Amino acid sequence: MQKSDLAYNLPDGRIKCLACARGCILSEGQVGFCGVRKVIGGRLQLLVYGIVDAVHMDPIEKKPVMHYRPGSRIFSIGTTGCSWMCMYCQNFDLSQRRKVEGQSITPQEVVKAAMEYNADGIAFTYNEPTIFMEFARDVGIEAKKKGLFNVFVSNGYATPESVKMMGDFLDSITVDFKGNGERNFLRKYAGVPDPKPIFNTLEQIRDLGTVHIEITDLVVPEVGDNVDSARALVRWIYRELGRDTPVHFLRFHPDYKMNWLRATPISTLEEHWKIAKEEGLNYVYVGNVHGHKYENTYCPKCGTAVIERKGFDIVSWNLDESNRCLNCGNQIPIVGGLNRESLKISRFHEVNL
Ligand code: SF4
């Protein structure tokens, strides 16, 4: 547990949490919606500071992050709790648990363990990292001192204060839209009152100018595959984040309270892919469909498959040392080259702390 740096004392004695856009206003003894922030002794405390409940070594492509240090090995951690309550969450055991549990570990120990496992970077993932922002920041700053990079996998439901904190340590973020970020979908299936803060957060992260951004959209069949809202989302991405922003349409798999739905038809994902390309986005992917041709990166100028993937594996790399297409010389916007050293060893690993 540690005192939160993302808190505002209201004149009436209550405290407003500034970590995420839910903006919980809490009195003494009350716990926020996420279950990990509580007012104790007149101060907002982060209950999961230094308590990790999920740790794995993953390929960076699993986040998914395709255009930042491809091939890297990522030491991935999460805590309990979440600012959303998605009815289809695949990590619901972690995210919807309202009991703080896990292994005690300091930021220095997280980084030491990551280095012992030969990680290239650290991901804050599995549950929403903005709810444990101060812990992520302290791990992240320590990680950067040791030459590691930091990745968030986030719902983007943040605040200007937490985005400012991201600027202290974050290198890459994948923001996960669900159901095209459509308001009614998010209200009904994720318990989110308004998607506007997600868009505000992305604009603020863009303005930091130091964080690589990728976007995912979980396409949920029957209730979240509205092509008009998909088109609206990709138009916003094009306008505000740029046509080179990687966008991933992810296949939904039935889980938790929405296990009565079917998995997203592949044709629906391909339709979303087509819409994004029609709207001018250069790097569009289909995710959670092993071996699909749209797992590959294609050169927007000549159509060559410049990076071929099978699932999270990179099976061919057709870019030169400056990330130019070997066929036509077009520059492909990828931060860092292929991490060939990390590809020599397994990128999936159970981690024992
Ligand atoms: S981080 Fe938790 S306590 Fe803070 S505003 Fe969000 S849900 Fe509420």
Domain with residue 170: its CATH number is: 3.20.20.70
Structure tokens at 335: 């931060």
Q: Do 18 and 71 sit in the same domain of this protein? A: no
Q: Do 59 and 26 sit in the same domain of this protein? A: no
Q: Do 6 and 20 sit in the same domain of this protein? A: yes
Q: What is the mean pLDDT of the chain?
A: 93
Flag whether pLDDT at 350 surpasses 80: no
In a domain, 123, yes or no: yes
Question: How far apart are the C-alpha atoms of 327 and 128, rounded to whole Å?
Answer: 40
pLDDT at 256: 72
Q: pLDDT band for position 348 (50/70/90)?
A: low
State the pTM of this model. Answer: 0.94
pLDDT at 109: 97
Q: Do 41 and 59 sit in the same domain of this protein? A: no
In a domain, 312, yes or no: no
The mean per-residue pLDDT over the stretch 149-171 comes to 98
Q: Do 344 and 204 sit in the same domain of this protein? A: yes
Q: Do 21 and 69 sit in the same domain of this protein? A: no
Q: pLDDT band for position 200 (50/70/90)?
A: very high
Q: pLDDT band for position 163 (50/70/90)?
A: very high
The mean per-residue pLDDT over the stretch 230-242 comes to 97
Q: Do 129 and 11 sit in the same domain of this protein? A: no
Among candidates 127, 26, 18, 37, which has minimal Cα distance to 82?
Answer: 127
In a domain, 256, yes or no: yes
Written as one letter, the residue type at 263 is A
Task: Provide the domain count of the chain.
Answer: 2
**Cα separations (Å) of 349 from 81, 114, 138, 171, 307?**
24, 11, 24, 23, 24
Residue of 10, 15, 34 to test ligand 1 pocket, by largest number of atoms within 8 Å of CB: 34
In a domain, 250, yes or no: yes
pLDDT at 251: 93
The mean per-residue pLDDT over the stretch 219-245 comes to 90
Written as one letter, the residue type at 29 is G
Question: How far apart are the C-alpha atoms of 33 and 52, rounded to whole Å?
Answer: 19
In a domain, 205, yes or no: yes
Q: Do 212 and 263 sit in the same domain of this protein? A: yes
Taking the CA of residue 44 as reference, the ligand 1 atom at the shortest distance is 3
Q: Using the mean position of ligand 1's atoms as its centre, give its distance from the Cα of residue 84 in Å.
A: 10
The mean per-residue pLDDT over the stretch 145-162 comes to 98
Q: Residue 26: what are its φ and ψ, rounded to 5°?
A: -125, 140
pLDDT above 90 covers a percentage of the chain that reads 78
Q: Do 264 and 177 sit in the same domain of this protein? A: yes
Q: Do 203 and 234 sit in the same domain of this protein? A: yes
Taking the CA of residue 33 as reference, the ligand 1 atom at the shortest distance is 7
Domain that holds residue 239: 51-283+329-350
Of all protein residues, the one whose alpha carbon is nearest to atom 4 of ligand 1 is 17
The mean per-residue pLDDT over the stretch 46-59 comes to 94
pLDDT at 205: 98
Separation of CA 138 from chain center:
18
Q: Do 40 and 167 sit in the same domain of this protein? A: no
Select the highest-mean-pLDDT range: 52-56, 192-196, 198-202: 198-202
Among candidates 74, 75, 91, 78, which has minimal Cα distance to 52?
Answer: 78
Q: Do 37 and 101 sit in the same domain of this protein? A: no
Residue of 82, 96, 130, 131 to test ligand 1 pocket, by largest number of atoms within 8 Å of CB: 131
The mean per-residue pLDDT over the stretch 268-282 comes to 96
Where is average pLDDT lowest: 52-56, 160-164, 255-259, 262-266?
255-259
Flag whether pLDDT at 220 surpasses 90: no
